[in-house]
Amino acid sequence: MRSKHALLPALLLAFALASAQLVFAQAADPLPSWNDGPAKSAITGFVATVTDRNSKSFIPMEERIAAFDNDGTLWAEKPVYFQLFFAIDRVKALAPEHPEWKTREPFASILKGDLKTALQEGDKALLDIVMATHSGMTIAEFEKLVKDWIATARHPQTKMLYTQMVYQPMLELLDYMRANGFKTFIVSGGGIEFMRPWTEAVYGIPPEQVVGSSTKTKYEMRPDGPVLVRLPQIDLIDDKAGKPVGINLHIGRRPVAAFGNSDGDQQMLEWTTAGPGARLALLVRHTDAKREYAYDKGAENALAEAKEKGWTVVDMQQDWKVIYPKAK
């Protein structure tokens, strides 16, 4: 009996410590890089409501799909999309094999360092650049090129690695959503095979949960085994109206939450909020010229619809305490 009585205080202390730890965990801010305000409240309020089994808006875990755009939503996108920087570096690397590029646009201007002239033809120029630099190789070969580039390439203005220019508040949001039973997907206009090699390490999003623009591929049997070869043909442009198509093709469920920053994400947010029950649509607005960039160009229509329909708009300058993670 004496031994049992002696254990009682220790057991009570252990119980008290465990209870205190639980209370602390519950009280801890899941989004510490977000300032208190309407945007943060909209996120936490939505999550609390749809994960409460007693709520009329409860969403079963298997239906908790959250779709995130990448460029401008999870990482920076200025002065141009980061995948274009990759393509430009590939043009320079491949130039010795293509002497005709010295006089052929958009390659001639790229090799002269004149990106503005190179992109004068808009989407056609981009398509020419991507097809020339992203095709004619196996999936494995392209993956290695991306991994090697993303590990060493640096942004021309900040001199940071591109994977250091991800948004700390959005990394916290990804973790918060997953901690509450959401399955997080990237749904981006960027190339699916460009993103898949690094998204798991950077965002915690595995390759099978990445939806993006894609080229056609074909199966080949070679002497050393079967391969998939990237062809110079577009399969899907996962942007604007292509995003709901990509979601249906790769995910098979309509998201209940969607996060974007531009007109390219507008249809994804429309598709998400058109579903029944509680829904969350959020736009990241770039308003911080000092810590990142300030611009609305390319987001005017989405911002207008956000105002009309009550979508949540994040003001980066006002809502985020920090932009990028601390350097390790």
Beta bridge partners of 185: 67
Report CA 132 to chain centroid distance, whole Å: 25
Structure tokens at 287: 């308003």
Task: Give the C-alpha separation, 200 to 208, whole Å.
Answer: 10
Burial class (CB in 10 A: 0-12, 13-18, 19+), 46: buried
CATH number of 33-81+160-319: 3.40.50.1000
Task: Give the C-alpha separation, 143 to 164, whole Å.
Answer: 20
Residue in 162, 156, 95 with CA at minimum distance from that of residue 129: 95
For 281, list phi and psi in degrees, rounded to 5: -120, 130
pLDDT tens readout for residues 65-116: 999 999 999 999 999 999 999 999 999 999 999 999 999 999 999 999 999 9
Structure tokens at 244: 């709901």
Beta bridge partners of 182: none
For 66, list phi and psi in degrees, rounded to 5: -120, 125
For residue 240, pLDDT beyond 70: yes
Q: What is the mean pLDDT of the chain?
A: 93
- pTM value > 0.85: yes
Residues 6 or more apart from 318 whose CB is under 8 A from it? 35, 37, 287
For residue 56, pLDDT beyond 90: yes
What are the distances in angstroms from CA 42 to CA 36, 39, 170, 278, 306? 10, 5, 15, 12, 14
Confidence of residue 13 (pLDDT cuts 50, 70, 90): low
For residue 24, pLDDT beyond 80: no
Enclosing H/E stretch for 302: helix 300-309
136 residue type, one letter: G
What are the distances in angstroms from CA 247 to CA 67, 74, 126, 127? 9, 18, 24, 23
Residues 6 or more apart from 194 whose CB is under 8 A from it? 83, 86, 134, 146, 212
Judge contact between 77 and 71, C-beta under 8 A: yes
Arithmetic mean of pLDDT, 141-156: 98
Residue in 224, 226, 192 with CA at minimum distance from that of residue 210: 192
Which pLDDT does position 327 carry in this prediction? 79
Residue in 273, 277, 269 with CA at minimum distance from that of residue 58: 277
Q: Which residues of 150-168 are buried (b: 16+ CB within 10 A; e: fewer)?
A: beeeebeeeeeebbbbbbb
Q: Where are the domains of the chain?
A: 33-81+160-319
Which pLDDT does position 6 carry in this prediction? 54
Residue 190, helix vs strand vs coil: strand
Beta strands in 246-293 (DSSP E): 257-260, 280-287
173 residue type, one letter: L
Judge contact between 216 and 210, C-beta under 8 A: no
318 residue type, one letter: Q
pLDDT tens readout for residues 227-239: 999 999 999 999 9
Residue 73, helix vs strand vs coil: coil
For residue 26, pLDDT beyond 70: no
Which pLDDT does position 12 carry in this prediction? 56
